[in-house]
């Protein structure tokens, strides 16, 4: 038999247990948020878009872009070292210069120009990056070794040189670094020059001037052929351009327009670039 006075004790124990259970449930339902060390709840991580940068002056190589100048540094277009080329090295982030009238510093003596002389001359055309270049070595004219130099792609005047998605040198579709900077590159551009002070000596009385125009004609024919695509007319112009270039090279510094009679015959009656008129 259970003593009568034990019932109040057991009832008290049961009530105490129920009260504790209710208190724990209430705590679970209203648990407060615990702030971080800064007193703020950290936001959930979200994906971030690639960086975009419109102020290219913040990119490496753009902060110290200096004004570039055209110079003659002993590089020639022909294997007789009579047709000088001028050059410029646009810095990374600097636009490629255009041609036409320009100030040239003759670092080395050539023709009637002395070393250190500065003159305003006419730059007639950009020399293709794949074209051979030469320089004097004693009494010989040898191939210029510039394999480590990145040459400016053709048709980039006014644009910045960069690497495209495939890593090739270009001036469009530049690949971009994670910080938003395009992969700009320094390069070197070569241009043919029409300078009477040089041609007067090296050209033997005017032939050099004619050859400068004829080279422009050759380049214009090739460009027109490329523009026309795969048509028969394009094939004819492309063949004429190749023949034109070969004849100009063979003519040498004293060549004149009459030496290209074969080209005139091939182009007779056809719609040719204006620069080719008169030959």
CA distances from 279 to 211, 212, 265 (A): 11, 13, 10
Note the pLDDT of residue 277: 61
Answer yes or no: pTM beyond 0.75. Answer: no
pLDDT digits (tens, 9 = 90+) for 172-210: 898 998 888 888 888 999 999 988 888 643 333 334 456
pLDDT digits (tens, 9 = 90+) for 58-99: 776 676 666 678 999 999 988 889 899 999 988 888 888 888
* Residue 216 · residue 115 · CB < 8 Å: no
pLDDT digits (tens, 9 = 90+) for 3-15: 554 445 455 544 4
**Structure confidence at residue 251 as a pLDDT band (50, 70, 90):** low
CA 195/CA 91 separation, integer angstroms: 26
What mean pLDDT do residues 214-227 have?
77
Note every long-range contact of 108-114, with CB atoms under 8 Å and residues 24 or more positions apart, other chains counting. 108/72, 108/73, 108/74, 110/72, 110/74, 110/84, 110/198, 110/202, 111/84, 111/195, 111/197, 111/198, 111/199, 111/200, 111/201, 111/202, 112/197, 112/198, 112/200, 112/201, 113/72, 113/195, 113/197, 113/198
Instruction: Give CA 100 to chain center in angstroms.
Output: 20
* Residue 62 · residue 161 · CB < 8 Å: no
* Spatial CA neighbour of 82 closest among 206, 201, 242: 201
Coil, strand or helix at 70: strand
Q: What is the mean pLDDT of the chain?
A: 74
**Where exactly are the structural domains of the chain?**
52-202, 203-279
* Percentage of the residues of the chain whose pLDDT score is greater than 90: 16
Burial 107-119 (b: 16+ CB within 10 A, else e): ebebbbbeeeeeb
CA 84/CA 76 separation, integer angstroms: 4
């Amino acid at each position: 038999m259970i003593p009568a006075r034990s019932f109040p004790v057991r009832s008290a124990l049961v009530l105490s247990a129920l009260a504790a259970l209710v208190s724990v449930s209430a705590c679970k339902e209203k648990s407060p948020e615990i702030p971080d060390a800064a007193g703020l709840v950290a936001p959930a991580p979200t994906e971030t878009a690639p960086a975009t940068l419109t102020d290219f002056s913040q990119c490496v190589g753009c902060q110290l872009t200096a004004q570039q100048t055209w110079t003659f540094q002993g590089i020639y277009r022909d294997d007789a070292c009579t047709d000088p080329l001028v050059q410029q090295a646009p810095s990374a982030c600097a636009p490629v210069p255009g041609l036409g009238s320009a100030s040239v510093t003759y670092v080395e003596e050539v023709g009637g120009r002395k070393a250190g002389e500065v003159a305003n001359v006419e730059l007639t055309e950009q020399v293709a990056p794949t074209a051979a270049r030469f320089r004097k070595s004693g009494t010989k004219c040898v191939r210029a070794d510039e394999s480590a130099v990145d040459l400016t792609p053709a048709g980039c005047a006014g644009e910045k040189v960069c690497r495209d998605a495939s890593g090739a040198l270009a001036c469009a579709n530049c690949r971009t670094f994670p910080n938003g900077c395009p992969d700009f590159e320094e390069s070197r551009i070569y241009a043919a020059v029409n300078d009477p002070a040089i041609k007067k000596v090296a050209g033997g009385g005017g032939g050099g001037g004619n050859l400068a125009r004829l080279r422009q004609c050759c380049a214009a024919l090739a460009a027109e052929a490329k523009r026309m695509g795969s048509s028969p007319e394009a094939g004819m112009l492309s063949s004429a351009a190749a023949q034109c270039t070969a004849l100009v090279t063979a003519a040498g510094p004293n060549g004149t327009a009459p030496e290209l009679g074969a080209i005139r015959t091939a182009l007779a009656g056809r719609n040719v670039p204006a620069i080719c008129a008169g030959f």
